[in-house]
Structure 1
Amino acid sequence: MKALIFLSFLLFHSMCVFSIENQIDSLGLKQGKWTEFEAHPSKEGLSISDLDDGESNYEYNYSSKRLDVYKFSGVYKDGYRNGVWNIYSDSNQLLFAINYNKGIIEGQYIGYDDNGDMIKCYISRTVKTKVERYTKTGELKEAYYTSTRTLLEYIYK
């Protein structure tokens, strides 16, 4: 009896410790928990210019000399990113927490800029997105509305 309890405990413990990641199903679709790495040119700086329609245009100046590697961690369902995906820097610092719905960014988005200020918004495809920027101490620094299209272009750069 003790041996059976011990084996049950061992089996349960090993299932918890060794979670399976990066799985592809029989249809070739990504499923379950995934960790991915992507390399992007280093950002030298950010320039923001106002457009004629009152929107802001965000543009990064990239360095061709260095690549930044980002770690993406989240869940795939039927080949699409689903739920919260965390994006980490090469030093394992959380940069973004982005919600996906069937592969599309939708819902809460939390990011951190180079100064450590938190950027928080709720992305909707149907209404303008309210963006809030907080200081490291949690005080609201600024709040503004922007089009979802402009915000998504900024995120994807």
Structure 2
Amino acid sequence: MARPKPAQFEKKKIVAENRRARFEYFVEQVFEAGIALTGTEVKSLRFGEGSIAESYAEVRDGQVWLINANVPEFSHGNRFNHEPRRPRKLLLHEREINKMHGAVAREGMTLVPLSVYFNARGRAKVELALAKGKKAHDKRDTIKERDWKREQGRILRDRG
């Protein structure tokens, strides 16, 4: 049975994407969260630098934190530069935080960042997914399905 597509947010400029996340996890629900950044972090992100490949989010003391996201130091940042891998606070509504906390605590789900982008108003946002980890056989099924779709496209292109 096919899973429903998550809601898409109005993304203007995608800075970093975690392409591996959809392969490693079943994405249950997607949230849009703001990020509390310093000035040099925003400038660095606007230049298209940044990575969320090994990052994750966790709920601590009623707040959600983005851990291990890499925003490299700004080249012209002098002494006011930021620490590249510092934990960053995510800005969410309290009911969203409570929902995430319950799912992580009770159901063993994980908070995975899918992408970092600037919205139409120029604000930095994180697309955060409430996800469940895939087993090895689920990953094999995903690979089979992807290969079959690719093969279907080739067949249709050759015959069409």
So what's the TM-score if we normalise by structure 2? Answer: 0.22
Q: Which has the higher helix share?
A: 2
So what's the TM-score if we normalise by structure 1? Answer: 0.23
Q: Which has the higher strand share?
A: 1
